[in-house]
Amino acid sequence: MDFFYDTYAIMSLINGEENYSKYKSNIITTSIFNLAELYNIFLRGHGKQTADYWARKLNFNFIEIDKNSIIKAVEFRFINREKNLSLSDCVGYILALKNNLKFLTGDEKFENVKNVEFVK
pLDDT, tens digit (0-9, with 9 covering 90-100), for 65-91: 999 999 999 999 999 999 999 999 999
Query: What's the CATH superfamily of 3-17+24-118?
Result: 5'-nuclease (3.40.50.1010)
Phi/psi of residue 90, each to 5°?
-65, -40
pTM across the whole model: 0.95
Give dist(CA 36, CA 31) in Å, integer.
9
Please give the pLDDT value at position 94. Answer: 99
Residue 1 has pLDDT above 90, yes or no: no
Q: Tens digit of pLDDT for each residue in 46-59?
A: 999 999 999 999 99
98, 111 Cβ separation under 8 angstroms: no
Please give the pLDDT value at position 4. Answer: 98
Residue 25 banded pLDDT, cuts 50, 70, 90: confident
